[in-house]
Structure 1
Amino acid sequence: MSKIAAIDTAQVHLRAHPDLVVQGAKGAHDKSDFLLVRVMTSDGITGFGEVSATPLWSGEDGTTAEHFVRRIIAPALVGAPLTPVGALESTMDRLIAGNPFTKAGVAIALWDAYARTLDVPLVEALGGPYRREVPIKLSLSGDDEHLRKVQAAAASAGFRAFKVKVGLGVDGDVRRMALAREIVGPDGFLGVDANCGWTRAEARRAIRLLAPYDPAFVEQPLAASDLAGMAELRGEGFPVVADESVFGMTDLVRVVEARAADVVSVYVGKSGGPGRAVELGRTAAAFGLGTLIGSNGELGLGAAAQLHVACALPELTTEFPSDIIGAHYYAEDILASPLDSDGRFVRLPDAPGLGVRPREDVLSLFEEKS
């Protein structure tokens, strides 16, 4: 039986592509500190994962994640059987409260190693594939010339579907959406994402004023805990997407009971790993909720995990593109070979595990930390 022989980490610090920086209700996302995770097994198999965390949003970052992985998680998991991966995830839960993005980085590496041990793509280990490509979108933010610059850069990368960052003041939100609609045209796909930035009164006013610009959906219009308010907004004519309101299964149950959303944005990071993300998406579907894959600005390894999860879900809301943006968002990629993405779709790699691996110079960072 394959056992975990070692777990190590390497930090990577990257800035967003200057023309694509997201400015939302929770601040600007212009850089990210990632923690890469490597799991090595007794059979000589290596799996890779990625902690994609931002302190402002999740309370986690590469430094806190590295401490937890090296000092607490690795000593507990090394020597344990690689399977079942779910048991290893439960061990992490007993060791550390919260910190789902940190646990997800380790879980991605464990699932990658497990699928490589089986010599199958991760999507097959997760129960798929139900599809081999996923439609994607990119966020538009800022005002006036900045928004035009972001959209032009996104369009040059192939993107044709977008969501506009709002929740920064209703009047400015409406002007931003009006400009975005003008730029992408009457038939272009546009949703809006408030990132918890509106009060109930602001949300009702904003939705009424945004209606002429035909938003495809309204994402997280209210505070994560205001499920009653979100349920009321579902009657305003546009699908409501729950994002910050749903991290794990307990949150999903609350959203279902409150009838607070039409669609749930599932993250590999929020869920605590690929297996749990698939479980969350399947449960949402069982209760009649749509599912899309949300983003915390993942790099190549995280984006690959997002993609495998999306393709392992029996029901994915493909009319609302997912947020698997990967290296499009950053000034450089860390993968030896990038994911196959043209801005409209991202496609599964045909290789075991995640189907991707870091560049050689990135791999050398693990050796420096050992």
Structure 2
Amino acid sequence: MTTTIAAIQTARITLNADPDLLVRGARGPHDRSEFLLVRVSTSDGVEGYGEVSATPLWSGEDGTTADHFIRTLLAPALTGQPLTPVAAAEDLMDKLLHGNHFTKAGVSIALWDAFARTLDVPLAVALGGPHRTEIPIKLSLSGDDEQLERAYAAARAAGFEAFKVKVGLDLPTDLHRVRRARELAGPDAFLGTDANGGWTRAEAITAVPQLKAFGVAFLEQPLEPRDLRGTKAVRQLGLPVIADESVFGMHDLVDVIEAEAADVVSLYVGKSGGPGRAVRMAEVAAAHGLPVLLGSNGELGIGAAAQLHVAAAVPRLSSYPSDIIGAHYYTEDVLAKPLDSDGRRVRLGDAPGLGVTLRDDLLREFR
């Protein structure tokens, strides 16, 4: 008998960032996040969980819009449909709802979780992996002077040894921040930079030689997302460039590849529209010689677990640490048991599906 989607429920939650680790980037501060948790129940009694990790400043989506579209549009259309192939459900969501990548990804994560639990295998296996069971991670550093020092101290206390510094606000201040971060971290620590598209071409070209002098490993998204020609020019200065905001879906990825505008692609489960699509994008990137890493929109435990399984399943993962920060960024965790992360790496378990369970109080919030 075919397993079908029996019900889709949601629960909303808002969490505050750890004030010491609060990210201040070119797009503004990320001090709190409203999330929508998604539960898919199947006709076989299996449940899968997902997470809509979206902020209006970043994607134009939030918990309110996600809840509205899932309840009024996606859930009615998906209920009664076969659970597999999950790609068919994703295609149906695309026909019903334009854009809103993070909203559809939240449902997709829950569908993939339910599918992997039905098979009684970890999601990474259902996605074609795992190719690895440990993923190195890093944490963003931002703010100036005392703020930066507090952020670094909190990151080290959490076990982090690899970092990226937020830049793209004001070039002289940006360079001062990177210099101070290097002083704090020491000459041998892994250190990257992330401009979030905040620099002009002239600023990026001016910054690169100095970033190289500071021993910076990479420059993430130096220019606004569609300036691929300018990004290629920056890349030719010899500092590896990571494409992030430039790549949401497959079409964006192809544009970046054709423009030769990146050395590494930062994939998000949310931007990609779900775990399966993220892995397919990674396969295309690998076929063109581009490794990927898992970027972060400040995901919670469910979203971080999805990041982990995708990172384990992609064929070519960058040697640069990914941004699977999960419970480290917020003042509380949503999982009954946190991911196995010590700040240096996060480890894949062998439990089925995402391999995580929400806290009991949150499980009671679904409706």
Q: TM-score range by the shorter chain?
A: over 0.9
Alignment TM-score, normalising by the size of structure 2: 0.99
Distance 1:209 1:174 in 2: 8
The number of residues matched between the two structures is 366
Instruction: Return the offset for 1:143.
Output: 0.3
Structure 1 segment 62-101 matched on structure 2, within 5 A: 62-101=63-102
Structure 1 segment 85-124 matched on structure 2, within 5 A: 85-124=86-125
Structure 1 segment 172-191 matched on structure 2, within 5 A: 172-191=173-192
Partner-residue secondary structure (3-state), 1:159: coil
Instruction: Return the offset for 1:235.
Output: 1.3
Distance 2:43 2:20 in 1: 44
Matched, 1:169 2:170: yes
Distance 2:212 2:43 in 1: 58
Distance 2:204 2:239 in 1: 12
Structure 1 segment 125-204 matched on structure 2, within 5 A: 125-204=126-205
Distance 2:217 2:283 in 1: 23
Partner-residue secondary structure (3-state), 2:124: helix
Q: Tell me what 2:340 maps to.
A: 340
Q: Tell me what 1:321 maps to.
A: 321
Distance 1:209 1:192 in 2: 12
Q: Tell me what 2:356 maps to.
A: 356
Partner-residue secondary structure (3-state), 2:242: strand
Q: Tell me what 2:41 maps to.
A: 40
Instruction: Return the offset for 1:356.
Output: 0.3
Matched, 1:289 2:283: no
**Which letter does structure 2 place at the counterpart of 1:146?**
Q
Instruction: Return the offset for 1:209.
Output: 2.4
Q: Tell me what 1:24 maps to.
A: 25
How much is the aligned-residue C-alpha RMSD, in angstroms?
A: 0.6
Q: Tell me what 1:277 maps to.
A: 278
Instruction: Return the offset for 1:204.
Output: 0.4
Partner-residue secondary structure (3-state), 2:349: coil
Distance 1:211 1:324 in 2: 26
Structure 1 segment 179-328 matched on structure 2, within 5 A: 179-317=180-318, 319-328=319-328
Which stretch of structure 1 is more off in the superposition, 38-47 or 201-210? 201-210
**Which letter does structure 2 place at the counterpart of 1:349?**
G
CA deviation string 1:313-360 (max 9, x = no partner):
12101x200000001000000001110000000001220000001010
Q: Tell me what 2:365 maps to.
A: 365
CA deviation string 1:132-174 (max 9, x = no partner):
0100000000000100000100000000000000001110011
**Which letter does structure 2 place at the counterpart of 1:282?**
E
Q: Tell me what 1:54 maps to.
A: 55
Distance 1:290 1:83 in 2: 29
Partner-residue secondary structure (3-state), 1:321: coil
Instruction: Return the offset for 1:237.
Output: 1.4
CA deviation string 1:56-110 (max 9, x = no partner):
0100000000000000000000001100000000000000000000000000000
Instruction: Return the offset for 1:207.
Output: 1.1
Partner-residue secondary structure (3-state), 1:223: coil
| Stretches of structure 2 lacking an aligned partner (at least 5 in a row) | none
Instruction: Return the offset for 1:206.
Output: 1.2
Which stretch of structure 1 is more off in the superposition, 207-216 or 25-34? 207-216
Alignment TM-score, normalising by the size of structure 1: 0.98
**Which letter does structure 1 place at the counterpart of 2:331?**
A
**Which letter does structure 1 place at the counterpart of 2:195?**
A
Instruction: Return the offset for 1:210.
Output: 2.1
Contact 1:349–1:356 under 8 Å retained in 2: no
Partner-residue secondary structure (3-state), 2:9: strand
Partner-residue secondary structure (3-state), 1:298: coil
Instruction: Return the offset for 1:212.
Output: 1.4
CA deviation string 1:10-41 (max 9, x = no partner):
00000001110000000000000000000000
Distance 2:128 2:223 in 1: 34
Instruction: Return the offset for 1:208.
Output: 2.1
